[in-house]
Amino acid sequence: MKKALFFMLIVAAIFGGCASGAGNSTTKANNTNANAADSSDVIVQKVDKDDVRDIIRQEKMLAPDVSETELSFTAVGEGIAPLNTVSTAQALALAKRAALTDAYRQLASKLYGVRVNGKDTVKDAMLRSSTITAQVNGLIKNASVIDENFNQGLYRVNVELKIDAEKWKELFAY
């Protein structure tokens, strides 16, 4: 009942008209002889469209604001330094490469999704083998490194990808 009332208020605010209770074509504001026991009528007043957008956004009923021109996606990648390196510089470089690759993979999975394949082999009503593979395919361009640090053999990289909202809708909104 609360959501239906909320929706009617939004519709009335957007279209500038009045909404009424179920099965009743008049509002209390227009019906001076309304019975006091009839509580199914709703009084609606005009509200500002920006107020309605704020309410919808707070109730998480709306996608990102259409006035935003740029969307931002972030990911954290982690890489471990291998033990069998010639120097600490080589270990650091390899850990950084692994962390960047992990971050790009996470961005691609956010944008393009992950393909998951599974295969089970059953023989004599018993599970013989089970294989699950996950695969990410995508192209990540112009991602920026926001933060990076190396601590106790773990290299951590924060990356951010900014993309035009209209371009994102064109490419990924399906």
**pLDDT tens digits along 156-171:** 999 999 988 888 777 7
Please tell me the pTM assigned to this model.
Answer: 0.55
pLDDT of residue 37: 46
**In a domain? residue 140:** yes
pLDDT value, residue 31: 44
54 and 94, same domain (yes or no): no
Q: Is residue 31 part of a domain?
A: yes
User: What is the Cα 137 distance to its own chain's centre?
Assistant: 20
63 part of a folded domain: no
End-to-end CA distance of the chain: 32
Residue type, 1: M
3-state DSSP: the chain helix, strand, coil percent, rounded to 5?
A: 35, 30, 40
pLDDT score, position 24: 40
Both 163 and 98 in one domain: the answer is yes
Model pLDDT, residue 167: 82
Domain, as residue range, for 31: 2-58
Q: Is residue 90 one of the residues assigned to a domain?
A: yes
Looking at residue 67, its pLDDT comes to: 53
pLDDT of residue 96: 95
User: Hey, which residues does 117 pair with through a beta bridge?
Assistant: 133
Task: Identify whether residues 76 and 50 lie together within a single domain.
Answer: no
- Rounded CA-CA distance 144/23 in Å is 57
Report the pLDDT value the prediction gives residue 153, as an integer from 0 to 100.
85
Q: Does residue 89 sit in the same domain as residue 123?
A: yes
Domain boundary residue among 58, 82, 105? 58
85 lies in the same domain as 155: yes
Contacts by residues 3-9 (CB-CB < 8 Å, ≥ 24 positions apart)? 5/42, 6/59, 8/42, 8/44, 9/42, 9/44, 9/47
The residue ranges of the chain whose pLDDT is under 70 are 1-47, 49, 52-53, 55-68, 173-174
Do 19 and 95 belong to one domain?
A: no
81 and 159 in a single domain? The answer is: yes
Same domain, 96 and 159: yes
Place of tokens 């023989």: 123
Please tell me whether residue 162 adopts helix, strand or coil conformation: strand
Q: What is the pLDDT of residue 155?
A: 95
> 24 and 75: one domain?
no
Number of domains in the chain: 2
In a domain? residue 160 = yes
| Counts for the chain of helices (H) and strands (E), in that order | 4, 5
Same domain, 82 and 125: yes
Whether 86 maps to a domain, the answer reads yes
Q: Phi and psi at residue 4, in whole multiples of 5°?
A: -65, -40
- Do both 54 and 88 map to the same domain? no
Is 114 inside any structural domain? yes
